[in-house]
Amino acid sequence: MVQPFLGGIFGLLCTHVLHGHFNRLEDFLMGELQRFKFDVLIIGAGGAGLRAAIEASAKGVTVGVICRSLLGKAHTVMAEGGVAAALGNVDSRDGWETHFSDTMRGGQYLNNWRMAELHAKEAPERVRELEAWGALFDRTKDGRILQRNFGGHKYPRLAHVGDRTGLEMIRTLQDHGIHQGIDFHQEITVVSLLKDKDRVVGALAYDRERGRFRIYQARSVIIATGGMGKIYKITSNSWDCTGSGISLAYHAGARLIDMEFIQFHPTGMVWPPSVRGLLITEGVRGEGGVLRNSEGKRFMFDDIPDLYKNQTSSDEEEGWRYTQGDPNAKRPPELLTRDHVARCIYREVKAGRGSPHGGVFLDIAWIKEKMKDAEAHIKKKLPSMYHQFKELAGIDITKEPMEVGPTTHYIMGGVKVDADSQRTDVPGLYAAGECAAGLHGANRLGGNSLSDLLVFGQRAGAHAAEEASRTKDGKIDEAEVAAMIEWAEKPFERYDRGKSTNPFQVQNELQDVMQDLVGIVRNEEGLARAIESLSELQEKAEAAGCGGHREFNPGWHTALELKHMLTVAEAIAKAAKERKESRGGHCRLDYTEKNEELGSVNIAVKKGSDGKMEVEVIPEVPLRDDLKKVIVKME
């Protein structure tokens, strides 16, 4: 009897290994998951996650950080132009009040004004802190942190490291963080948040190397997972920007707001096709770069919004003086807000005045007319851009213009949070960075993203640590864990039965729907079609399957990720359909003007009791009187 029994066990093990259910013998024999326990768990290791981890650790609690990729490869490294903070190093007139006013104006006054206030006041301290930790910012002649012009900012405000600011930020935070006793877990993907009644108490995840499931238990959890650009066909975002954190919070019961507001950065590469969408920093325009159509005309002069006419010049010479730091000059129209510049480029292309490959021309080489050492200046100020075009497109930007076009870049919406603490609607759950909504309103100003990461990453870490220190451990629901693991393994079973769809094909179809119907311009018919198509894609996603085993299996990973991508896409489409006006990053061809009644409300989505997505309208909290006076004064 012993030999047949052992043979049966061996056969069972082989079957499970072949089908990907167990990757290691000990998984089966021990009958246990890998388990980790922290006071504070942070999902995401970009700027917000690292700053939150440093702050929480400083409060004396145990901190664990999950990063989907390797440490140091977060999408923050792709931020190029600089970090916005009113240091006043280049123009002493700058201060928190001007920064606050610029942020509110850029966001079309839909911003969470308390977040905008805290951001403007605390950003300078966060930048100086980064400098103290070793960040090597570019310098003024007298040794202070240098600041450059950027779209929507009244004064030169962006502290920068050439055009590699995000990379330097991550390097600095990472170098500082690894000495604080923080436990980093690399190449880990979260499947679901775990709850004890209404409270988040941890997460179920798996390691991408071996596909082994893990339970992370924590007293408080911070989501800092970034954006969702990969649900669009053309994007500047990296592979892991699928909106997973936003979706995790939504499925845990958190509300999302402002999901209709997507920022299409005006300048992404359009050629060659292999690098389409790759970001071209706004710093090119901040250093004097101009936009021209196929006729050689600077078309931005044709459309200057009333909101910015008193700050913008249609005189080329004055615009040049502005980029060179003249405090009395007005900005060139190329440095208007990103939503406006992107729509102007879109208009030129649609009118047949675009470049050969469907964009327009961005020219920094023209400054040779103004500077003797222009070539050396461009290489010094824009080293990444010079090498990017030289290596990928065979273009020398010191001698010829670049072809550029809009690319999906940033989501202003995300998880609804408390301004001071970054708490969500769900007890024990926090959010910070791009996945958290409120600061940017209808449109984000360039550079505000990096200071957002620092300011609200620090606040999230402090408040999550404080809550963890006074909270008892929650209970992990083992039945919930088992159900989620069973769901996660379904793609292998479906593939075995030969009834599965290809997860990569579903993602490709999703990207087409979002690019074509929920892109730079939208209308009622297109949004209705998008919502219907997303419902059909949901059915396909539920039938997605993959072969092989769980070790480094991109097909399996994508099959699971479709849930998050489709959740975020549905939220964007439904919120966009609800907001019947054009404002900031939301442009409707059938409602081309602003609706004043919608200028003081947020569109929110939440998961209903029946599991379906519900849309609601939330009135904004009225602006505090002293901040009203600040805006009037600055205008």
Active site residues: 265, 285
3-state secondary structure 459-512: HHHHHHHHHHHCCCCCCCCHHHHHHHHHHHHHHHHHHHCCCCECHHHHHHHHHH
Query: In b/e form, how buried is each residue of 223-248, taking b as 16+ CB within 10 angstroms?
Result: bbbbbbbbbbbbbbbbebbbbbbbbb
Specify the DSSP element, H or E, that contains 28: helix 25-30
Give the residue carrying structure tokens 């030969």: 498
Q: Which residues contact 616 (CB under 8 A, 6 or more apart)?
A: 603, 604, 605, 606
CA dist 452 and 116 (Å) reads: 9
Cis peptide before 554 (omega within 30 of 0): no
Distance CA 97, CA 450 (A): 19
* Cβ within 8 Å of residue 57, ≥6 positions away: 63, 177, 180, 181, 182, 461
CB 249 within 8 A of CB 255: no
Question: Are the C-beta atoms of residues 531 and 587 closer than 8 Å to each other?
Answer: no
Would you call 424 helix, strand, or coil by DSSP? coil
Question: Euclidean distance between the first and final Cα of the chain, in Å?
Answer: 89
Q: Report how far residue 541's alpha carbon sits from residue 353's, in angstroms, rounded to the nearest whole number.
A: 40
Tell me how far apart the alpha carbons of residues 106 and 122 are, in angstroms, rounded to a whole number: 19
Sheet holding 262-269, edge to edge: 262-269, 402-411, 360-363, 290-292
> In this structure, what are the phi and psi dihedrals at residue 593, rounded to the nearest 5 degrees?
-105, 165
Distance CA 242, CA 256 (A): 16
Sign of the CA dihedral 371, 374, 376, 380?
positive
Element (H, E) at 122: helix 113-132
d(CA 409, CA 312): 25
Q: How many helices (H) and strands (E) does the chain have?
A: 18, 19
Nearest to 432 by CA among 241, 223, 238, 286: 223
DSSP assignment of 139-199: B-TTSSBPEE--TT-SS--EE-STT-HHHHHHHHHHHHHTTTT-EEEESEEEEEEEEETTE
What distance in Å separates the CA atoms of residue 461 and residue 471, rounded to the nearest whole number? 15
Write the DSSP symbol of residue 301: G
322 half-sphere exposure, CB direction, 13 A CA radius: 27
List of E strands, 224-255: none
State how far Cα 60 lies from the chain centre.
29
Q: How many CB atoms within 10 Å of residue 109? A: 18
